[in-house]
Structure 1
Amino acid sequence: MTSTEFETAAPDPIVYLDRVAATDLGRSYKGHMLDVLDIRPGQTVLDLGCGPGTDLTSLAQAVTGTGTVIGVDHDPTAVETARARAADRQTVTVRLGDIHDLPLPDHAADRARTDRVLQHVTDPAQALREFHRVLRPGGRLVMGEPDWDTLTVDHPDSDLSRAYTQYVTDKVVRNARIGRQLPRLAAEAGFAVPAVIPITSVFRDAREADKILGLERTAQRAVAAGHFDQEAARRWLDHLSTGPFLAAVTLYIVVAESYPGRSRRAVAADPATTAGRH
């Protein structure tokens, strides 16, 4: 089943995160997230699930020398890497911590972001309650999360592609539909949600798509789990590697705000908080 076109082993997590950030897709959606975060000089900004510090420099530039950027991640290796990368930024600190129980006091920050993190955590709702706790009244949270149920891969046998997407959604990613769920979960945590921005990534090059989607290594896991048989997986991958290629998946950027004087129940009951508008 192995194809010379695709990766068969998962890359190192830090290598993978750097790889995504370096793509046109990564630069585009991260830039959009930064724009809607609307950081002002002198503010305190949190990067929750900061990984190896990929976005700390852009946040530090936005707060200027008068602000503060705090990165938080649960992975000691990622924290060590982020600290090394931000060593020349006096306004940046990186802390080891769990986003379900942030090592921060109440109302500590003006802005917060999280980027493709909630799809992996144990309890997204608890994480959002923590985000609400540490933001000041009037603070803004921007989240970017994919909805893997929107993954489409063109193939003459649509049942094979459908089986692949179902496997990714049901077995590979812990919270695979988090993108569509974020507005509701944010409202339930006490936020207003003034904007939901869908960004659909379209891949026309199979090798470039594989660097993000892991087509072959995921198909191998699907075979081992009984979702594909070996022959079906071979036919699917052979076509993807040789024929015209198209795949797409939607990522949602969700803007959430912590308004003073609004209870969680009141925010959740307000229809305006759950309607995405630009």
Structure 2
Amino acid sequence: MLQFDEDTARILEDAYQGADITRRRRASFDVLAPSPGDRLLDLGCGNGLLTLDLSRAVGDTGHVLGLDPSLDMLDLARARCAGRGNVAFREGHAEALPCDENSLDGAVSLQVFEYFDDMRPTLTELFRALKPGGRLVIGDMHWDTLTWHSDRPARMVEMCRIWDRHLACRDVPARLPALLAEAGFRAISTTPLAFCDTQLRPDGLAAMLIRLMTAYAIQTGALAEPEARAWAQEQQDLARAGRFFFSLTHFICQAQKP
């Protein structure tokens, strides 16, 4: 697991609440369309930002369960949602949901499925836990859509290749529709959400990825620290020169249990 210093942690927190990640989170929220009284699952809830949004929407008569395998993330999520009686958090894994059969009105998962070696067990569990008519929303990047300018294209390719190692599946949106249908879901559709920047914004997705990718390359020993930091510095230099370009597409896939 990546370890972050205080400065990096602050920058990542800014990014999570910045325009790009907020836009991505809001897109999943809007597609799920939570209603008062709904019982919902936030699968891979992380630091609880989406869980908090959902808890406001379902109100006192509803309930939101946040599930995550990381105790550190759950601590952040609990602190963020402190005092909200309609929220609970559990440590757990997607292949064994702590939910009764036909108990959920909806479930949402944001950038989680790319870490599953096999998505089928999780989809089967979600199908079991959702009520008939229950809604499922899964948001993930398609990493083949990444376009990132560099004057050292070979080094950029290498950094992206290194980053791919932390993923189990880099093309989740392309695989999901068939797997959802196989699991029994219907009314399946996919909506793209494109991010494209010619500025390196401090709270943006690109700035967050630069931090994460640099730390991952160094901590795993996949690239010498001076070279990894030079890659990150080049993006700062390109931005100052007005030559920065970054584009990546996120996809929101929705489905329904018949």
TM norm structure 2: 0.83
Q: Report the counterpart of residue 91 of structure 2 in structure 1.
A: 96
- 1:1-278 correspondence runs (5 A): 10=4, 18-169=13-164, 171-206=165-200, 208=202, 209-214=206-211, 215-220=213-218, 224-225=221-222, 236-243=231-238, 244-259=243-258
CA distance in 2, matches of 1:135, 1:46: 9
* Matched-pair contact (CA < 8 Å) for 1:113–1:141: yes
* Matched-pair contact (CA < 8 Å) for 2:163–2:217: no
Q: Residues 10 and 247 from structure 1, CA distance in 2 versus in 1: closer, same or farther, beyond 3 angstroms?
A: farther
Q: CA deviation at 1:15?
A: 6.1
CA distance in 1, matches of 2:219, 2:74: 29
TM-align CA RMSD? 2.9
* Matched-pair contact (CA < 8 Å) for 2:218–2:224: no
Larger Rg: 1
Q: CA deviation at 1:122?
A: 4.2
Q: CA deviation at 1:205?
A: 3.5
* Matched-pair contact (CA < 8 Å) for 2:12–2:208: no
Q: Partner of 1:58: helix, strand, or coil?
A: helix
> Which deviations, in whole Å up to 9, do the C-alpha atoms of 1:78-137 show, x marking residues without a partner?
223323332311111112221111111111100110111112234322111111110011
2:250 alignment partner AA: L
> Which deviations, in whole Å up to 9, do the C-alpha atoms of 1:11-31 show, x marking residues without a partner?
689867644331101111211
* Matched-pair contact (CA < 8 Å) for 1:149–1:165: no
Instruction: Mark the runs of 5 or more structure 1 residues left unpaired by the alignment.
Output: 1-7, 260-278
* Matched-pair contact (CA < 8 Å) for 1:141–1:257: yes
Q: CA deviation at 1:66?
A: 1.4
Q: CA deviation at 1:161?
A: 2.7
1:251 alignment partner AA: H
* Matched-pair contact (CA < 8 Å) for 1:45–1:69: yes
Q: CA deviation at 1:218?
A: 4.5
Q: CA deviation at 1:256?
A: 1.2
CA distance in 1, matches of 2:84, 2:163: 38
**What is the aligned residue count?**
248
Q: Residues 72 and 234 from structure 1, CA distance in 2 versus in 1: closer, same or farther, beyond 3 angstroms?
A: closer
Q: Residues 218 and 152 from structure 1, CA distance in 2 versus in 1: closer, same or farther, beyond 3 angstroms?
A: farther
Q: CA deviation at 1:180?
A: 2.3
- Which shifted more, 114-123 or 138-147? 114-123
Q: Partner of 1:99: helix, strand, or coil?
A: coil
* Matched-pair contact (CA < 8 Å) for 1:112–1:141: yes
* Matched-pair contact (CA < 8 Å) for 2:210–2:232: no
Q: CA deviation at 1:52?
A: 2.5
Instruction: Mark the runs of 5 or more structure 2 residues left unpaired by the alignment.
Output: none
TM norm structure 1: 0.78
Q: Residues 233 and 40 from structure 1, CA distance in 2 versus in 1: closer, same or farther, beyond 3 angstroms?
A: closer
CA distance in 1, matches of 2:232, 2:27: 33
Q: Residues 174 and 202 from structure 1, CA distance in 2 versus in 1: closer, same or farther, beyond 3 angstroms?
A: same
CA distance in 1, matches of 2:9, 2:58: 25
CA distance in 1, matches of 2:3, 2:73: 20
> Which deviations, in whole Å up to 9, do the C-alpha atoms of 1:229-256 show, x marking residues without a partner?
8897676445322122111111111111
